[in-house]
Structure 1
Amino acid sequence: MADVAAMAGVSSQTVSRVANNRSNVEEETRRRVLSAMRVLGYRPNTAARALVTGQFRTLGLISFGLASFGNARTVDAVTRAAQRAGYTVNMIAVESQTERAVHEAFDQLTMQAVDGIVLIEAQILDTPALRLPPGVPVVMADGDVSHRHPMVDTDQALGARLVTRHLLDLGHETVWHVSGPEDSYAARRRAESWHATLKEAGAAVPQLLFGDWSAGSGYAAGRVLARRPGVTAVFAANDQMALGVMRAMIQAGRRVPEDVSIAGFDDLDESAYLSPPLTTVRQDFDVVAERIVSLMIDQIEGGTAPSATAFVAPELIVRESTAAPPPPA
C-alpha cells in the first residue's frame, strides 16, 4: 500500500479508500491510484481488511430453483449488481424447501464469511415457525409475505392487471389464464390479479388452468382450451407456457391472433421473434437487483434493518399475438 501511495503521489489512507471503493475520492485521484495498483500488481488483503472493518464484502445467495427463468435472471442480475458495488457472491442452490435445508444453506454460507444473505422465492418462509438464524442481514427476492424481512420484487399484480386489461380492452368478453405452480408466489400473485381484474370489469371468470412454467405444460393446457370454441383470449403466466399454448392452438387450426389472442409474462429474448411475436409483460430484473443489493448494503454498512417491501413496476409489451376477437359467427 505504501508503494502504491508513493507512485500515485497520495497518502496510504487514500489508497485504502480507493481499495474499499469509497466515494470520497476525486475521480482523477482514483484513476492514478488504480493505475499504480495495476503497475505494481497490488491486491487488497481481504482477510486483513475484514479484521479492520468487520466486513468481507461477500454476499451469500440462496436460490430455490434455477430452472425458472425469473429465478435465473434474478441470480444473474444480483450477481452483477453486487459486483458493481464491490461485493462478490457465493451462491447455493437448494432443491427442497424444508427448514433443515434452509438452515444447512445458512450454515454453509456463514462459514464462508458472508456479510449478508439474499433468498430468492423462498416459499418456506410461509411456515410461521421458521426462524432464520440471527446475526446475518437478509433480503428477500420474491417472497416473505409475512414481511419479516426486507423484500424486493416485480409488481406481479400490476403486470397481470396490465395484460388482462389489455385483452379486455381489445373487446374480448373474458380472458382465460394458464397459471404457474400453485406453490409459487409469482404465480399466485398473477392469478389473483387476473381474477380481480376480471371481476372489476364485470367479466366472467373462467376455470383456472395450472402449468409448471414449461412450454410442455402450456401445450397441455392449450390443447384443453383449443377444444373450447368460446376461448378467444389466453394469458399465460410466463412466455414458455404461452409458447406451448400457441403451438396447441395452431395445431388445432386456431389462428393467432385472428381466432385467439395469446399473451405471456417475462419477455424472453426470443418472444419478439416468435410467429407471431408475443405480447408479454417485461420485468426489469436489473432494477430489482439494484434495490436488493442497496437494501443489503444499508444493513451491512449502516447497521439498519429496514422492513420495507419494494415493488418494481413492469411494462406491457404489445406485439402481434393479440388483437380484437373474431366477429360472432
Structure 2
Amino acid sequence: MTLRPIGDWGGPVVEWNYTTKAYSASQFEQPVRPATFTGGHTDSAVDLDADGLADFLELRADVHVNLAGHYTLSGYLSKGAGTTVVRFIASAYRDFDLATTDTSVVLRFRGDQILQAGVDGPWDFSLTLYYAPLAYARGNATPGPIGTILPPQPAYYPETLCGTTSTYRAADFDPTVELVRYTGRFQEVTPDRNGDGTFDALLIRAEVEVFATASFDLSGLLAAASGSPEIAKSFGQVCLQQGTQWAEFSFAGPNIPAAGIDGPYQATLSITPTARGIDPTTTYTTMAYHATDFDANSTGPAQP
C-alpha cells in the first residue's frame, strides 16, 4: 500500500505491506450473471429496399436469461486481430427487455459504415450484454424515502461474446441506409394543461419502424388543408430504439389561433438521421378543428 500527499509536490512517500487473515474463496459471493451467451451465433446481410446492396449486417447471438429485466447490447466489427494493425469497421448499440428464457439477441451494423471502412470480411466481432438493474432510474419503480439506506446491490458482470463473421465484400453494402420508415398509423392529442377549455398544443404521433437504434432530428410543418399557408412548425431531437414505436411532433397552440385558420390541417412530418441516412417524409391530415379551439396565451411547452 502506498500513501502520497494529495498535492504531490515531490514529498516523501510512505509504503508498507500487510497480510490479511486466511480466507477461502468459497466464503465470498459468487458473481451474479443475469444472462449468458451460449455460444451460438449467426450473421446475415439485410437488404431492406431490395436494391441489391445490403443496408445492414445483422448479427444474432443465442443467450440464456437468468434474470428478467432491461438490458443493453453493444458491439463492434474489426479486422486484423492478432496483428499489429487492427481496423475498425463498424459499431452498434441498442437496449431492450428480456424475459427469463432461452432466446437470441440481435444487433445491426450499418452498411454505410462497412462500405466506408473499405475492408472485406470476414470480420471479427465483439458483443457485450449489460444488465440494467436500476428500474427506478427509468421511471418503472418508486425510490424509497430520503435517508433510506439502500440494501447492498449484487455485482452484475457484463457478458462478452467474440467471434468471426461470414465472408462479405464491403462494396456490397449500401452507402445510404434506411434507418426508419413510417408505418402509416397516426394519433392526435390535444392537451389542455390549465383546464381553461382550449388546447395548448396539437400533438401528432406517427408510428415508425426503426431498423437500427439511432438519433434523429424531427421536424414538422402544419399548414392549411391545401398545404398553404403555414400555421406552425415543430422541431425536436430523439433517440429511437430498434423496433416499432411512436415519433411525436408537437405544434404550439398559440400559433393556430394567431393564423386564424380552421382545420382540418395538413401536417408534413420529417425524420432525419443525425448521422446521415435516408430521411423519410410523410403528410397527414388532421381532424377538423376551429382555430379558436386552441389557447392563444399558452406559454408552456407544447408536450402534454
Q: Which has the higher helix share?
A: 1
**Greater Rg, structure 1 or structure 2?**
2
Which structure carries more relative contact order (alpha carbon 8 Å, separation 6+)? Answer: 1
TM over 0.5: no
Instruction: Tell me the TM-score range normalised by the shorter chain.
Output: under 0.3
Q: Which has the higher strand share?
A: 2
Per the normalisation by structure 2, the TM-score is: 0.22
